[in-house]
């Protein structure tokens, strides 16, 4: 019968399948961060700083952020900052706007953005803006609306104490023009 929903899996009527086991989720994230020789840890190197952000956010939402090693996380994020001001996913990789936003979000979560060169980050982000107002993600030049959002989020988090209204207004105009919902 066309259009009929297909049910390919049936779960037993078990309370364990209906309960969110937060402690188990938190334990997994803590263990993942500690076992640096694990295959999953190694093959996710290309997105490490974003993964750190996702893991920390999950831990914070579960009320378990205190279980993470803040000093180690902050040192790792600092090690990802490139001389250009942007952040790479991990050391020895190229900086990219996506990872720069993740790094900034980690530092904001821990309320310690001042541990990195904020001016260099702002310069990096601004340097990715194109004449039409759009943004590229890195030196290779891909333009994508995600990058407009990332730059807007990054600058909003970093320049909230600065008077960069013109830059933010230009970003908002790009968002409106490209139908980004912020």
pLDDT of residue 19: 84
By the 8 A CB rule, do 96 and 86 touch? yes
Q: What is the pLDDT of residue 1?
A: 53
pLDDT of 163 strictly over 60: no
pLDDT given for residue 160 in this prediction = 59
Write down the pLDDT at residue 165. 60
Distance of CA 150 to the CA centre of its chain: 9
The more confidently predicted of residues 174 and 10 is 10
Contact between 121 and 82 under an 8 Å Cβ cutoff? The reply is no
Kindly list the distances between the CA atom of residue 27 and the CA atoms of 64, 130, 142, 150, in Å, as whole numbers in the listed order. 10, 44, 38, 30
What is d(CA 134, CA 73) in angstroms, rounded to the nearest whole number? 32
The C-alpha atoms of residue 163 and residue 141 are separated, in whole angstroms, by: 28
What is d(CA 115, CA 170) in angstroms, rounded to the nearest whole number? 28
What's residue 68's pLDDT? 97
- Write the pLDDT tens digit of every residue in 10-44: 877 887 677 889 999 999 999 987 888 889 888 99
pLDDT digits (tens, 9 = 90+) for 111-137: 999 999 999 999 999 999 999 989 999
Average pLDDT for 141-146: 94
Q: Using the predicted structure, report yes or no on whether residue 53 has a pLDDT greater than 50.
A: yes
Reported as a single tens digit per residue, the pLDDT across 71-118 is: 999 999 999 999 999 999 999 999 999 999 999 999 999 999 999 999
182, pLDDT greater than 50: no
Least-confidence region, from 43-52, 154-163, 164-173: 164-173
Token pair for residue 26? 């938190």
* pLDDT exceeds 90 at position 177: no
3-state SS string for the chain: CCCCCCCCCCCCCCHHHHCCCHHHHHHHHHHHHHCCCCHHHHHCHHHHHHHHHHHHHHHHHCCCHHHCCHHHHHHHHHHCECCCCCECCCCCCCCCHHHHHHHHHHHHHCCCHHHCCHHHHHHHHHHCECCCCCEECCCCCCECHHHHHHHHHHHHHHCCCCCCHHHHHHHHHHHHHCCCCC
CA–CA distances in Å: residue 151 to residues 30, 40, 94: 30, 29, 17
What pLDDT does 15 receive?
Answer: 73
């Amino acid at each position: 019968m066309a259009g009929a929903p297909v049910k390919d899996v049936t779960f037993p009527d078990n309370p364990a399948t209906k309960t969110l086991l937060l402690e188990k989720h938190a334990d997994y994230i803590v263990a993942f961060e500690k076992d640096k020789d694990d295959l999953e840890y190694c093959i996710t190197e290309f997105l490490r700083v974003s993964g750190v952000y996702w893991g920390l956010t999950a831990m914070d939402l579960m009320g378990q952020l205190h279980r993470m090693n803040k000093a180690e996380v902050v040192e790792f994020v600092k090690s990802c900052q490139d001389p250009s001001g942007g952040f790479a996913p991990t050391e020895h990789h190229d900086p990219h706007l996506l990872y720069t936003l993740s790094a900034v979000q980690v530092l904001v979560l821990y309320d310690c953005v001042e541990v990195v060169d904020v001016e260099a980050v702002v310069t990096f982000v601004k340097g990715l803006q194109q004449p039409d107002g759009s943004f590229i993600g890195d030196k290779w030049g891909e333009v994508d609306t995600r990058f407009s959002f990332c730059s807007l989020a990054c600058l909003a988090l970093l320049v909230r104490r600065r008077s960069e209204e013109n830059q933010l207004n230009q970003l908002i105009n790009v968002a409106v023009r490209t139908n980004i919902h912020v």
